[in-house]
């Protein structure tokens, strides 16, 4: 084999097969999921306060607080808050159903994040209105997917 052939051939062989590339490109398109949760309505950006650490040390437990300013009356209230993590193997982390009986649209919880990613919070308001908020979070140690215990 000529040296030149070898030099040209190596990068081609090193290119990953399609299935392996899919493994690496773990960020998935969550647009269909958001569209499904939002009943096809285009959500308006903003109107949600998300408290999330900019850098999360441990992806197994990332504290998150979501607050949606709302009068929480019978006519105008928040029905549900969805948390979506596009790099998690199952992107829909949780759905919280509220209502006028909640008085305040605010929830705090702890979630798992499989690596640094953009977190999406979708709020479903009464009257088929939706709000969306996205925030980047850096995860130092991702929630364990492959290491044994």
Residue 97 touches another protein, criterion: CB under 8 A: yes
> Binding residue for another protein (CB under 8 A) from 56, 93, 123, 142?
93
Residues 6+ apart with CB under 8 A from 46: 131, 133
Residue 36 touches another protein, criterion: CB under 8 A: no
Q: Binders of another protein among 110-129, rule CB under 8 A?
A: 110-113
- Please count the helices (runs of H) and the strands (runs of E) in the chain: 3, 9
Give SS3 for 130: strand
Is residue 132 within 8 Å of 82, Cβ to Cβ? no
Residue 22 touches another protein, criterion: CB under 8 A: no
Residue 88 touches another protein, criterion: CB under 8 A: yes
Binding site for another protein (CB under 8 A): 60-62, 83, 85, 88-113, 143-146, 148-149
């Amino acid at each position: 084999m000529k040296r030149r052939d070898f030099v040209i051939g190596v990068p081609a062989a090193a290119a990953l097969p399609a299935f392996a590339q899919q493994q690496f490109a773990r960020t998935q398109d969550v647009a269909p999921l958001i569209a499904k949760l939002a009943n096809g309505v285009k959500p308006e950006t903003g109107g949600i306060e998300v408290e999330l650490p900019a850098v999360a040390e441990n992806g197994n437990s990332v504290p998150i607080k979501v607050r949606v300013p709302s009068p929480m009356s019978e006519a105008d209230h928040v029905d549900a808050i969805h948390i979506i993590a596009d790099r998690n193997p199952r992107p829909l982390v949780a759905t919280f159903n509220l209502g006028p009986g909640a008085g305040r649209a605010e929830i705090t919880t702890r979630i798992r994040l499989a690596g640094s990613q953009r977190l999406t919070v979708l709020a479903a308001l009464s009257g088929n209105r939706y709000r969306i908020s996205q925030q980047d979070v850096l995860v130092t140690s991702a929630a364990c997917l492959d290491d044994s215990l």
